[in-house]
Amino acid sequence: MDPHTRQKLVEVLKHGAMILICVIALSPILWIGTQAFKSYFDTIAVPPKIFFTPVLDNFRKVLVKPGFLTSIRDSFIMAAGSSILGLLLGTPCGYALARLRYRGSEAVGFFLLITRMVSPIVIIIPLNRAFQFFGLIDTHAGLILAHTFINIGLVVWMMRGFFQDIPDSLEEAARLDGCSNIQAFYKIALPTTAPGLAATTIFCFLFSWNELMMALTLTSLQVRTTPVFIISEFVGYLAVEWGLLSAAGILIVLPMLIFVVAIQKNLVRGLTMGAVK
């Protein structure tokens, strides 16, 4: 086999492998999408039906289900609140870790990183007992604090990397012009890392929007996020309503998908900050 033919064969195999990986990765989404448009008997058919008559009954039933729109509101309040609080607390900490050198700074950063590595199941019981004591069970404030605790390590380490990519000369020039350290942070460093700040916000919001374990443990009746609502309403003891479950999943994912697509430029800029010097 001549080198040119071998190179073409390698390229074909590479593209074929990438297509296969994409099909495997997207197959769950395709399955949910088809299930959402099937009737009840089509969703439980064995073997699964590939060709069927699409219906919109599942979406209609989900939208009129008591509590569904309220759960979306609760999820938004919780995700937005935890993201904002995490950014307010984690961004200055990330800046301090990037700019200040003192004894134990690496230990502080490592401790914050560990908080992101810890599984929620490890801390859920202590949090539950503490929130019971302070009356935060089944409240927006309690769930916002719980998610902030998980998000804070992610915020600190992402913003630390973004601040490290900013040349020190920019802040030094600001100080020579009369700015204090705090003014240099708010007027120079923070606006420069705006794409990174947007990327960090997206990751925090998506984590809080999709989180189940803490929401299931720390909330009950007054507050129910969409993941909790779905498993409590559409997953029963004897049967699973696959059509309604799939339709609800699409309705929950769709706003996040539109949001990410709308700001994808800032997301890509934030993730690639410092990649090209």
Our CA angle for 34, 230, 199, nearest 5°, is: 85
Q: What is the dihedral of CA 126, 127, 130, 136, to 10 degrees?
A: -160
Q: What is the C-alpha separation between 226 and 223, in angstroms, rounded?
A: 10
Alpha carbon separation from 88 to 125, 144, 203 (Å, rounded)? 26, 13, 15
Same domain, 52 and 87: no
Mean pLDDT, rounded, of the chain: 83
Same domain, 77 and 113: yes
* 22 pLDDT higher than 70: yes
Same domain, 88 and 151: yes
Cβ pair 247, 36 in contact under 8 A: yes
Task: Report yes or no on 37 lying in a domain.
Answer: yes
Percent of the chain exceeding pLDDT 90 equals: 6
DSSP 144-159: HHHHHHHHHHHHHHHH
Q: What is the C-alpha separation between 261 and 38, in angstroms, rounded?
A: 27
Same domain, 28 and 91: no
* Among 100-104, 112-116, 242-246, the range of highest mean pLDDT: 242-246
Task: Report yes or no on 268 lying in a domain.
Answer: no
Task: Report yes or no on 181 lying in a domain.
Answer: yes
Our CA angle for 265, 74, 60, nearest 5°, is: 85
pTM of structure: 0.81
Instruction: Return the pLDDT at 152.
Output: 87
- The separation between CA 176 and the C-alpha centre of its own chain, rounded to angstroms, equals 40
Same domain, 163 and 216: yes
Same domain, 28 and 102: no
Task: Report yes or no on 184 lying in a domain.
Answer: yes
Same domain, 26 and 125: no
Our CA angle for 58, 230, 247, nearest 5°, is: 25
Same domain, 38 and 175: no
Higher pLDDT among residues 210 and 100, named by residue: 210
* 276 pLDDT higher than 50: no
Cβ pair 58, 243 in contact under 8 A: yes
Same domain, 28 and 139: no
Same domain, 75 and 105: yes
Q: What is the C-alpha separation between 195 and 245, in angstroms, rounded?
A: 35
* Number of domains present in the structure of the chain: 2
For residue 97, what is the enclosing H or E element?
helix 68-99
Task: Report yes or no on 258 lying in a domain.
Answer: no
Chain position carrying tokens 């058919």? 45
Task: Report yes or no on 166 lying in a domain.
Answer: yes
Higher pLDDT among residues 145 and 161, named by residue: 145
Domain with 201 in it: 67-233
Same domain, 73 and 148: yes
| CATH code of the domain covering residue 137 | 1.10.3720.10
Same domain, 83 and 210: yes
Q: What is the C-alpha separation between 4 and 91, in angstroms, rounded?
A: 53
pLDDT tens digits, residue range 32-67? 888 888 888 888 888 888 888 888 888 998 988 888
